[in-house]
Each structure stands twice: as C-alpha cells, then as structure tokens.
Amino acid sequence: MNCLMVNSITVRAGTRTILNRLECTVRAGDFLVIIGPNGAGKTTLLKALCGLVSVSSGEIKVMGRPLADYSRRQLAATLALVPQNLNLEFAFTVEETVRMGRAPHLGLLERERQADQAIARQAMAFTDVAHLADRCLNQLSGGERQRTMIARAICQQPKIMLLDEPTASLDPAHQLRIMELMQRLRREEMMTVVMVSHDLNLAALFASSILLLKEGAALCAGPPAEILTQDNLRRAYGCAMHVDVHPCTGTPRVSLVPGGAS
Amino acid sequence: MRQRPLLVALLLALLLAGVIMASLLSGSSEVKAVDILRALLAGADSSTPAGAIVWHIRLPRALLAAAVGGTLSLGGLVFQARLRNALAEPYILGVSGGAAVGAIAGMLAGLAMFPGVALTSFFSSLLVMALVLLLARGRATSRSESLLLAGVMLNAFCSACIMFLLSLSQSSQVHHILFWLMGDLSMAEPGQMWLFPPLFACFFLILIHARPMNLLLTGEESAAALGLDVRRVTWILLGVTSLMVSLVVSQAGLVGFVGLVVPHFFRLCCGPDHRVLVPACILGGGAYLVLCDLLARSLPAGGEMPVGVITAMIGAPIFIIMLWRTRT
C-alpha cells in the first residue's frame, strides 16, 4: 500500500520554484532516504509532506487521503516530524519535551492521563533517554538531543516519521545508533520512515529506497543499488565519485575522489 | 526546579490575599486596624468612616493594583512566548504609545479621568495595535520580527506625538500627565470594578492555551508539526492580550517594568512550563503591584509617588540578583 503519494507537486517561494512537478511514492514500511545537492528541495519536500509549506499545484495523499482534508491535529497524529533546528532558548526537560508529543491526541481542555505518561515513558525507553528525563535539553549532547526529539515523535504515535538530517553533526557511533533506531522503528513499531540526509553511505546501508532530487524534481528513485551509481551521482552533484561494493554488506559504497568536484 | 501548578498557584494566592490585607490596613488617614476589620465584615454599605475608607478607597485601589499587575505580567509572558523574545513586554505592539496619545489628548481636551480619558486611551491603543497587526500581516504573521519592528516603529511615532502634545500643554496639566505616563493608581474607585469580568475572561482564554504556548516555545515549525494551528493560536493570544492590556492601561496609565520582570522572575524559579507560569504571573504579578503601590503611597512623607517608580526600583535589582545567581 502507498502511504505517501506525491502527485506532481510544485512549491514556489516568491518567484523561485523550489519543487517542480515532483513525483514520488512511499510504500508502507519503507525506509526512504531523500538525497540530493544543497538547494535541491529536500527539506522543502519534507515540509510539504507535513503541510508546513503550501503547494501551489499538484496533490499529496497521506494514507490514501488528500493532505488538504486533514486538520493540523489529525495530520500530527499520522505523521511526525523531527525538525533540524530546535529553539533552545527556553529549555524544557527531556521528559517535558517528549510529553509534548501527546499534544495532537489531546483537546484544548483535556489533561494528560496515565496512559499518555506511559506512552511517553515507553518512547523514552525506546530511544534510550529515560535516564535523562529530568535533564534540560540545552545540557545534552547532540546525540542525546536528537534521540529526545525522536522520542517526542514516537510519542505522537504516527504511522509515518519524517526526519530532517538527524545524523548531521553527530559522530560515527551516534550516526549508526540513530540509523539502527530507525530500523527498529520499522520492524517493531511498523512505522514508515522518510529521512533527508547528505550521507550517501548511511543511505546505502540502511535505506530500502532512495529518492535522488535535483533542482526540485526527482532525478531517479529506487533501491540503493540502482540509484547510487557513478553516473547518477555525477548528474546530480556535478561531481565525480567512485562507487564500489561495501566489503561487509554488499551494498554500494561511495567514495569521494580528490579533484572530482572541479 | 519543576513546580506543581496547583501548589504554586495556592501559595501565590495566599501571598496576594496577604498583601491586599496589608494594603487595606495602611494609608494616609489613621484608622485603627480593628475598625477596618469590623468595616470589612460589616459589608459594603457600612456607614462608618472606616467603612467608607475601606470600601470606597483602599479596597478598589488594592484590587485595581492586583488586576493591573496580573494583567501586565501575563501580557509580558504571552508576548515573550509568542514572539520568542526575552525583551518583549506587554506594550510591545504599540499598546502603550497608542494609549498614551489618546489619554493625553483626552486630558488636554479637559475630559474627566473616567470614563472620558479611559475611553480615548482605550480606543487609541486598540487603533495602534490593529495598525501594527495589519502592517505585520502581509509579511507572514509567523515572522516575529515584523511584528516587533512594526510595534517599535509605531511606539516611536507615538512618543513624538506625546512630546508634541506635552509641549502644547499648560504647566498645570503636565504634572498630571507625567503621573499617568509613569503609572498611577490613585484614581481607583468602586466604579472601575466592571474591569474584572472582561479581564477574567481574558485570563481564562490564555490559561487554556498554556499547552499551545509551551509548544510555541520550541519553535513555530516544531509546534505546527505537533498539530498546533500556529496562525489561529497567534491571533487569539495576541488579540486577547492586547485587549486586556489596553483595558488596564486606560485605567491605570503606563505602569512599567512589571510585565518584563515578573514573567522572567517566575521562569527563573519555576521553569518554562506555561501551565505553571500563567497562574503564577496572574497572582504573583498582582501581589507585586499591590505591594509596590503600598510602598508608593506610604514612603513619601506627604502625598505619593507614581507606582511605576517603585516597580522599577525594586524590580530591577531583584531581577539582576536572580540573573546573577542562576548563571551557569
């Protein structure tokens, strides 16, 4: 079943066209990684999927239903976003932050129930931040903060999780932990994961499919082995890269070549 | 550091009741405490001199101070949360400038303080505020900076108008106008108690938006991703706050500093959760202004000083000490 269908959408900001008649589909249970050069429209696509930017033409369907038919709250209960930038000026604790994930399930006058708190605790345990519950977000390391935000998204109990470069600025061990967390989300919570990333090798190792964007349109989409070819990467990034086979997993491995970008 | 909302509210309610009681017991005319308590128990229509002082002078003034303090603190809290700017205060959307121009024009025209001047200042502050919202509207309401800038610019224009009006006025009026500009509770009278029902309605509306305000603190996109209709909540919060602030400004003038310091004070000692902060600001801000007003009218040997002088003189040092102690 297709849980996300993007039907020829165009997104404009002023006179600039950011997404240009973009098409893509995501099947339930997929782990889609969106890659592409800076300015290709990756983040904008993610925002369009969760209704944060308006689409000037085309249509998005979430779980078979047009995005426009969802209320903000219904959408947040179906689709969770882990944003790239966080405001840390007024810092909440980890537990307070994760519990905010219950917001789409609560009315204006409704109070959090025991069940809501239990869901928040489970989410914190799932991403291994339970021991940090009373720490303030601005006292955490980058990896801990990212896991907290993922716990908040899990707490929304969505069917689809969208993440905007969750591994950026993390060390290799933490990058791996985040990616393995995503795999567990797919297997144990039956979630569909859509992630924007610049890390081609992480995408090759973990994605079930890859969408390669260029200048606001899909250059190609499919399983990593089909998409991560020297030819495609040169066309997308304008940069020669060497692609061979990962010695341990057999998935594509992308290496940068000095002078390749000139 | 994390406090339970009910406990904090209860403690602050007791504090508020305490300072109101203290302000009933003190004043320029020497009335015995026993007489005051007896007059309070006797009800509003007691005909003793003590009854007249309590029911017609001191109680209205204490209640007005509590209402103004609570409203301005809450206004500061809302604007700081929505505009995500630590320096935002209740007058940021041009409420003060607009109110001041209207009030001074009313005073110069020789209108009575109530209802004449109150009405001119209320409507001119609403007018300026609407202008600010309108100016910021075309350029994405989401962008806090455009609201802030429009507010600052219109306030600056209003300041020029105030100076212009002041330079036209006679010296006998200037003293009166300056008092109003610094915040003045000496006009309090029982007739102003109509203020309370609309203020309570505003407090309630903001209280039920405490959780959305928490979400807004994490950023607009983050709040929207959690299912919040950011645009609608913004209009409700800004509209309700501007309305209640214009209401109290039209009654008590420009009491400064309360709206900036009280929310920060409670944020420093109770954390950023608005389910605690909203009641804390209403009750604590009210208690703070009642206390300041008590000092403003008992410190000078003869007469009194504008309450705004005291709010800043006490507030600034306390705030600086708090900031100093919580540095990491």
Give Cα separations from B81 to A60, B85, B105, B214, B234 (angstroms): 33, 7, 33, 8, 10
Q: Can you tell me the mean pLDDT for B21-40?
A: 81
Set of chain B residues whose Cβ sits within 8 Å of the Cβ of A101: 226
Residue B323 vs residues A90, A139, B318, B320: alpha-carbon distances, Å = 14, 18, 9, 5
Written as six digits, the tokens of A156 are 């929304």
How many C-beta neighbours within 10 Å does residue B88 have? 25
For the segment A45-78, what is each residue's pLDDT rounded down to a tens digit?
Answer: 999 998 999 899 999 999 999 999 999 999 999 9
As a whole number, mean pLDDT of residues A210-219 equals 94
Nearest-CB residue to B225 (from A52, A89, A134)? A52
Is the pLDDT assigned to residue A80 strictly greater than 90?
A: yes
Question: Is the Cβ pair B214, A77 closer than 8 Å?
Answer: no
Domain positions in chain A are 2-86+159-256
Q: Phi and psi (nearest 5°) for B118? A: -55, -45
Architecture per CATH, domain A2-86+159-256, reads as 3-Layer(aba) Sandwich (3.40)
Distance, CA of B307 to CA of A186 (rounded, Å): 62
The three-state secondary structure class of A255 is: strand
- The pLDDT of residue B30 is above 80: no
Q: Does A158 touch chain B (CB under 8 A)?
A: no
Q: Which helix (H) or strand (E) holds B135?
A: helix B118-137
Give the per-residue pLDDT at B143. Answer: 62
pLDDT at B138: 61
- Please report where in the chains the tokens 């998935």 appear, as a residue: A251
Q: What is the mean pLDDT of residues A104-127?
A: 90
Q: What is the pLDDT at residue A2?
A: 85
Q: What pairs with residue A26 in β-bridges?
A: A4
Encoding tokens for residue A50?
């969760």
User: How high does pLDDT run on average in chain B?
Assistant: 85
pLDDT for A33 beyond 50? yes
Q: Are B216 and B82 in contact (CB under 8 A)?
A: yes
Task: Give the pLDDT confidence of B144-201 residue by residue, as tens digits.
Answer: 677 888 888 888 899 899 889 888 887 777 877 888 888 888 878 888 888 899 999 9
* Window from A151-165, B23-37, B49-63, B76-90 with minimum mean pLDDT: B23-37
Q: Return the CATH number at B150.
A: 1.10.3470.10
Interchain proximity A91–B2, CB inside 8 Å? no
Instruction: Write the ipTM.
Output: 0.86
Cβ neighbours of residue A81 under 8 Å, at least 6 residues apart?
A: A46, A50, A52, A153, A162, A163, A164, B221, B222, B225
| Residue A190 in tokens | 């039956």
Q: Which residue has the higher pLDDT, A142 or B284?
A: B284
The residue in chain A having the minimum alpha-carbon distance to the alpha carbon of residue B217 is A90
Contact status of A151 with chain B (Cβ, < 8 Å) = no
In this structure, are residues B227 and A76 in contact, taking their beta carbons and an 8 Å threshold? yes
What's the whole-number mean pLDDT along residues B97-107? 87
Is the Cβ pair B272, A90 closer than 8 Å? yes
Assigned token pair, A89: 């000026």
Residue B139 is predicted with a pLDDT of 57
What pLDDT shows up at residue A217? 93
Percent share of chain B, pLDDT over 90:
29
Helix, strand, or coil here: B10?
helix
Does the distance separating the beta carbons of B227 and A52 come in below 8 Å?
no
Flag whether residue A207 sits within 8 Å of chain B, measured between CB atoms.
no
Average pLDDT over residues A224-249: 94
Q: Omega into B306 within 30° of 0, i.e. cis? A: no
A76 touches chain B (CB under 8 A): yes
The predicted pLDDT at position B119 comes to 85
CA dist B2 to A204, B170, B272, B276, B279, Å?
Answer: 44, 54, 9, 9, 15
A112 near B CB under 8 A: no
Alpha carbon of B296: minimum distance to chain A alpha carbons (Å): 34
Distance from CA of B322 to the nearest CA of A (A): 16
Q: CB under 8 Å to B159, separation ≥6 — which residues?
A: B97
By the 10 Å C-beta count (0-12 exposed, 13-18 middle, 19+ buried), A41 is classed as buried
Quote the percentage of chain B above a pLDDT of 70.
94
Nearest to A40 by CA among A212, A239, A228, A244: A212
Using the Cβ of A104 and the Cβ atoms of chain B, whether some distance falls under 8 Å is answered with yes
Instruction: Spell out which residues of chain A touch residue B211, defining contact as CB-CB under 8 Å.
Output: 103, 106, 108
pLDDT at B107 exceeding the cut of 50: yes
Task: Report DSSP state, residue A240.
Answer: -
Tell me the residue range of the domain where B258 lies.
5-23+31-325
Q: Which among A62, A70, A72, A145 is the top mutation candidate for probing chain B, defined by the most B β-carbons within 10 Å of its own β-carbon?
A: A72
Sign of CA dihedral A18, A24, A30, A33: negative
Nearest to B227 among A92, A97, A104 (CB): A104
Q: Which of B86, B226, B273 sits opposite A76 (nearest CB)?
A: B226
Q: A74 to chain B: which residues are within 8 Å by CB?
A: 227
Choosing among A75, A81, A87, A111, which should be mutated to test the B contact, i.e. which has the most B CBs within 10 A?
A: A87
The reported pLDDT for the residue numbered A89 is 67
Residue B21 has pLDDT above 80, yes or no: yes
- Confirm if B309 and B254 have CB atoms less than 8 A apart: no
C-alpha to C-alpha distance for B205 and B189, rounded to whole angstroms: 27
pLDDT band at A209 (very low <50, low <70, confident <90, very high): very high
* Residue position matching structure tokens 């944020």: B267
Angstroms from B315 CA to nearest CA on chain A = 21
Contact of A73 with chain B, judged by CB distance below 8 Å, is answered with yes
How far apart are the C-alpha atoms of B112 and B118, rounded to whole Å? 9
pLDDT of amino acid B1: 41
* A100 with B84: Cβ contact below 8 A: no
Dihedral angle, C-alpha A158, A161, A162, A163, nearest 10 ° = 130
Name chain A contacts of B272, Cβ cutoff 8 Å. 90-92
For residue A110, what is the nearest residue in chain B, using CA coordinates?
Answer: B208
Query: DSSP letters along B252-299, please?
Result: H----SHHHHHHHHHHHHH-S-HHHHHHHHHHHHHHHHHHHHHHHHHS
Q: Which residue has the tokens 């009910």?
A: B6
pLDDT above 70 coverage of chain A, percent? 98
What pLDDT shows up at residue B14? Answer: 96
Beta-bridge partner residues of A254: A243
Residue B141 pLDDT class (50, 70, 90 cuts): very low
- Residues paired with A213 in a beta bridge: A218
Give the pLDDT score at B46. 66
Place of tokens 């944060």: A52
Rg of chain A in Å (alpha carbons): 19
Any B CB within 8 A of A75 CB: yes
pLDDT in tens, A175-198: 999 999 999 999 988 899 999 999
Q: Does A81 touch chain B (CB under 8 A)?
A: yes
Number of domains in chain B: 1
- Report the pLDDT value the prediction gives residue A6, as an integer from 0 to 100: 94
CB-CB neighbours of B173 under 10 Å:
16
Collapsing DSSP states into helix, strand and coil, what is residue A46? Answer: helix
Cβ neighbors of B308 (< 8 A, separation 6 or more) are B182, B183, B253, B254, B255, B256, B257
Whether residues B228 and A47 touch (CB distance < 8 A) is answered with no
Report the side by side order of strands in the sheet with A217-222.
Answer: A79-82, A160-164, A192-196, A31-35, A209-214, A217-222
**Sheet strands (E) in A68-158:** 79-82
**Residue recorded with tokens 């105030």:** B162
Does the distance separating the beta carbons of A156 and B2 come in below 8 Å? no
Task: Give dist(CA B14, CA B3) in Å, integer.
Answer: 17
Residues forming a β-bridge with A82: A163
